[in-house]
Amino acid sequence: MKTLAGGLLMAALMAASAQAAIRTQKVEYRHGDATLQGYLAYDDAVTGKRPGVLVAPEWWGLNDYAKGRAEQLARLGYVVFATDMYGKGKTTTDPKEAGQLAGLFRNDRKLMRARAAAGLDILRNRPQVDTTRIAAIGYCFGGTVVLEMARSGADLKGVVSFHGGLATSNPADARNIKGKVLVLHGADDTFESPAEIAAFQDEMRQAKVDWQMNYYGGAVHSFTNPAAGRVGIKGVAYNEAADRRSWQAMRDFFDEILK
């Protein structure tokens, strides 16, 4: 009888486990005249409110890579929203077009901040999200986006930039940063000049921000993306060790600021 009861209990647990899964959905929203479509991911086995994480994509737009990162974070127990910076369904694999799309925001930091804030509002309004525990991460162009969000005074516990652009048009805005900052950078990344790196570090010091910057030896730009070398851009390549180590650094950072 005990064996039967144990077997039934195990079967029930296995059935419940099978039903639990990472749920994903496309979320349409607007910013001004732009129709946007972000990507929500969460683990439906987790009950109650939990921390939220915003993901800002690379300059390619909200593609499968960014969505995959959102799903990875969801498996760690976060409610995740990958934000759309360009417009519903707008992605590219052409570096020239990506540069033009990202350039619009790089040249207009007010627009960049406002477009990102629209995505943050979507995440903040999810019923599963503990609004006192929200962070943002970004890759390349998205790294610039989350740093600008922090500089705007967004209510974030912290931001993480993976091989992101560090320069800003108004370094004094760093005094608005409310959370902590983690920058994960390839030691051989030629896309950020030594002068830009030094200026960023000085910006953080002058504003007395709680910041960290990790360098990964042998890593160049876009080191977290396995498809980084697909278009043959010089100085852009995947680095498995740096990808793994930077992801763990992010997890440790989140353990500190979101738990």
Domains of the chain: 22-257 (3.40.50.1820)
User: Which amino acid belongs to residue 2?
Assistant: K
> Residue range 180-188: average pLDDT?
98
Distance (Å, whole) CA 161 – CA 179:
13
pLDDT of residue 57: 98
pLDDT of residue 20: 58
34 burial (CB, 10 Å; 0-12 / 13-18 / 19+) is middle
Distance (Å, whole) CA 52 – CA 73:
10
Distance (Å, whole) CA 71 – CA 59:
19
Sign of CA dihedral 82, 88, 89, 90: negative
195 token code pair: 């002068």
Neighbouring CB atoms inside 10 A of 99's CB total: 14
- How does pLDDT run across 115-173, given as a tens digit for each residue? 999 999 999 999 999 999 999 999 999 999 999 999 999 999 999 999 999 999 999 99
- How does pLDDT run across 13-70, given as a tens digit for each residue? 444 444 458 999 999 999 999 999 999 999 999 889 999 999 999 999 999 999 999 9
Percent of the chain whose pLDDT exceeds 70 = 92
Nearest CA to 86 out of 104, 68, 108, 71 is that of 104
Q: Which residue bears the tokens 């144990």?
A: 6
User: For the residues of 89-139, what is the DSSP string, one character each?
Assistant: T-B-S-HHHHHHHHHHHHT-HHHHHHHHHHHHHHHHTSTTEEEEEEEEEEE
**Helix or strand run (H / E) with residue 12:** helix 2-19
pLDDT of residue 221: 97
Task: Look at 23 and 1; give whichever has higher pLDDT.
Answer: 23
pLDDT of residue 174: 98
C-alpha 7, offset from chain centre:
43
User: b/e per residue, 203-214, with b = 16+ CB within 10 A?
Assistant: bbeebebebeee
Distance (Å, whole) CA 89 – CA 105:
18
155 token code pair: 């209510």
178 token code pair: 């409310």
74 token code pair: 């969801």
Distance (Å, whole) CA 175 – CA 60:
30
SS3 172: helix
